[in-house]
């Protein structure tokens, strides 16, 4: 359920568009920022706000890789392995982090496609914050910095800290 602040924001977002359905992706982001994933209640509430069926919401939501339909912890670590990162060490970072955080429920390591950070390859994002020119070790240090509170993460869908 949206908090009352977020519900107000949701209504403001809907009002920006000539057609309310356009607010679907923004509201899913808002829900994911709030709850850390897109849960059943969120889809139901958004369906109600936009006068859609839940099937419509689910069908659209599941198309987009950023939306997590299961809880993923506090930090989404998105490691690029597309070609520039492939030839500069991205896969090694991915495997290193996957192993390092295999048992850590707070850290969700995922392989992603090109992040548009090829000038600084290999790159990753933590909650959609860029980090570039990495090695497996420096990548782990960055994730640990978030874990220990030295760095403040964005919200789960990349919303404001």
Partner 1 sequence: MTLQETRLLTKRMNDRPADSFTMEGALATGAYDMLRKALQMKSADVQEEVKTSGLRGRGGGGFPTGTKWSFLPAGLYPRYLVVNADEGEPSTFKDRELMERDPHQLIEGIAISAYAIESNLAFIYLRGEMAHANEILTQALADARAKGFLGQNILGSGYDLDIVLHRGAGAYICGEETALLESLEGRRGMPRIRPPFPAVAGLYAKPTVVNNVETMATVPHIVSMGGAEYAKIGVNRSTGTRMFSLSGHVNRPGNYEVELGATFRELIDDLGGGVTNGGTVKFFIPGGASSQWLVNEHLDVPLDMDEVGKLGVMLGSGAVMVFDQDTDPLAVAWRLVKFFAHESCGKCTPCREGTGWEEKILYRILHGQGRPSDLDLLLDIGDNISPGLNAPFSQTTICPLGPSSVSPIVSLNKYFRDDVIARCTPRLVTMLTGNGLAGNGLDGGLHR
Partner 2 sequence: MSAVNPQPPPELVELTIDGHLVMVPKGANLIDVAQRHGHYIPRFCWHERMKPVGMCRMCLIEIEGVRGLPPACTTTVTPGMVVHTQESSPNARKAQEGVLEFLLINHPLDCPVCDRGGECPLQDHTIAHGPAESRFVEEKRHFAKPIPISHVVDLDRERCILCARCTRFADEIAGDPLISFVERGGHSQVLNYPDDPFSSYFSGNTVQICPVGALTARPYRFRARPWDLEKAETSCVTCAVQCRGEVHSTTNQIVRLLGVDSDAVNHGWLCDKGRFGYEWVESPARVTAPMVRKTADDGTSELVEVSWPEALDAAAQGLQEVARLHQASSIGVLGGARGTNEDAYVWARFAKGVLGTDNVDCQLGDGLPAEVVLGLPRATIADCDRARSVVLLAPDLKEELPVLFLRLKRAAQDLGVKLVEIGATDTGLTSLAAATVRHLPGSAADVVGRLVAAIGGTASGDGRIDAAAALLGDGSDVVVVLGRPNLAEPADATVAAAAALATLPGVRFLSALRRSNVHGALDMGLAPGLLPGRVSLDDGRDAFTEAWGSVPEGRGRDGAGMLRAAADGQLHGLVLLGSDPMADFPDRALAERALASIGFTVVVDGFLSESAKRADVVLPPAVWGEKSGSATNIEGRVQRLTRRVTAAGRTMDDWRIAVELAARFDVDFDLETIDEVQSEIARLAPAYRGVDSHVINGARDGVVVPLAPVTVAIGRRRAAATADTDAEGAEAAGTEGAGAGASGVEAERADTADAAEAGAEMPAAGPALLVWDRSAPAVAPVTRDSYAVRLVVARKLYDAGRVVAQGPSIVDLAPGPLLELNPSDLEHLGVIDGGTVRASSSRGSGVFTTRSTRGVPAGTARLAHNQPGDDSDLVDIAEAVTDLRLETVGASATVGLSKGGAR
Q: How far apart are CA 12 and CA 96, in angstroms?
A: 43
**Which residues, 6+ apart, have CB-to-CB distance to 138 below 8 Å?**
none
Binding mask 1-40 for partner 2 (x = CB under 8 A): ---------------------------------------x
CB of 123 to partner 1, least distance (A): 10
Show contacts with partner 2 in window 44-103 (CB under 8 A). 52-60, 62-63, 65
State the binding partner of 43 from partner 1, partner 2, none, CB within 5 to 8 A by kind.
Answer: partner 2
Residue that is written with structure tokens 């707070």 in the block: 106
Chain positions contacting partner 1, by CB under 8 A: 16-19, 21-26, 28-29, 50, 59-60, 63-67, 78-79, 81-84, 86-88, 91-92, 94-95, 110-121, 125, 127-130, 154, 157-160
Spell out the alpha helix ranges (H) of the chain: 4-15, 24-35, 40-50, 54-61, 83-86, 90-100, 136-147
CB of 48 to partner 2, least distance (A): 12
Tell me the backbone φ, ψ of residue 7, rounded to 5 degrees. -65, -40
């Amino acid at each position: 359920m949206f908090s009352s602040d977020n519900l107000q924001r949701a209504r403001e977002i809907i009002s920006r568009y000539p057609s309310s359905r356009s607010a679907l992706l923004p509201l899913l982001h808002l829900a994911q920022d709030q709850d850390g994933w897109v849960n059943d209640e969120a889809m139901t509430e958004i369906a109600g706000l936009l006068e859609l069926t839940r099937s419509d919401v689910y069908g659209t939501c599941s198309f987009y890789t950023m939306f997590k339909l299961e809880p993923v912890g506090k930090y989404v670590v998105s490691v690029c392995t597309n070609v520039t990162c492939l030839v500069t060490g991205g896969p090694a970072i991915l495997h290193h982090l996957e192993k390092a955080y295999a048992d850590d429920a707070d850290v969700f390591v995922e392989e992603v496609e090109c992040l548009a950070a090829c000038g600084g390859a290999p790159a990753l994002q933590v909650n959609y914050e860029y980090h570039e020119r990495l090695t497996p070790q420096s990548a782990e240090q960055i994730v640990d910095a978030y874990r220990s509170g030295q760095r403040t993460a964005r919200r789960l869908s990349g919303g404001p800290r």
